[in-house]
């Protein structure tokens, strides 16, 4: 995500538009996108401020915010849970999330998920990678 435009530029753009120029003229004059000018004027009208709004998502504001203790408890009780199994258990609690969201939550909590479900070992014997030399 990019950085917000400087406050000086923001104030100059608003002054230019308030002098009677159009938003498109301001975008050409200051070499910014028309969308930036439109959003800036909208921000000024709504808040009275030119300060940039907060970027990104807040920590813990996702669907799983209220379920962190449940996930922590389930992983501690049964360390062999897969991400898919956790998703099913969360769906039982009324939360529909993708396995990647659960994986990110586990990472934030410092927990490690099992990568795939248990599969018994195959019956095939291991063979050496070396061939017998003929000579």
In tens digits, the chain (135 residues) has pLDDT values of 688 999 999 999 999 999 999 999 999 999 999 999 999 999 999 999 999 988 876 665 578 888 889 989 988 888 778 889 999 999 999 989 998 989 888 888 888 766 555 566 666 666 655 555 555
Neighbours of 42 (CB within 10 A): 10
> Are residues 40 and 72 both part of a single domain?
no
pLDDT at 21: 97
pLDDT at 80: 79
Domain count, the chain: 2
> Are residues 38 and 73 both part of a single domain?
no
Domain extent at residue 89: 65-109
Within the chain, residue ranges assigned H as helices are 7-18, 23-30, 34-47, 68-77, 83-92, 99-109
pLDDT at 88: 93
pLDDT at 125: 61
CA angle 104, 105, 106 (to 5 degrees): 90
Q: Please, which residues have CB within 8 angstroms of residue 49's CB and are 6 or more apart in sequence?
A: 43
Question: Which residue in the block uniquely carries the two structure tokens 């050409």?
Answer: 28
126 is a domain residue: no
pLDDT at 107: 87
Distance of CA 98 to the CA centre of its chain: 12
pLDDT at 20: 97
> Are residues 69 and 101 both part of a single domain?
yes
80 is a domain residue: yes
pLDDT at 119: 63
31 is a domain residue: yes
């Amino acid at each position: 995500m990019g950085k917000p435009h400087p406050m000086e530029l923001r104030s100059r753009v608003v002054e230019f538009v308030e002098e009677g120029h159009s938003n498109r003229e301001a975008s050409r004059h200051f070499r910014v996108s028309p969308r930036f000018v439109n959003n800036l004027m909208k921000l000024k009208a709504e808040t009275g401020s030119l300060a940039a709004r907060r970027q990104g998502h807040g920590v813990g504001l996702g669907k799983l915010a209220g379920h962190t203790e449940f996930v922590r408890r389930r992983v501690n009780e049964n360390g062999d849970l897969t991400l898919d199994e956790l998703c099913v258990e969360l769906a039982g609690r009324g939360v529909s999330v993708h396995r990647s969201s659960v994986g990110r939550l586990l990472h934030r909590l410092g927990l490690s998920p099992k990568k795939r479900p248990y599969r018994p070992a195959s019956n095939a014997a291991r063979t050496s990678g070396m061939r017998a030399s003929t000579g």
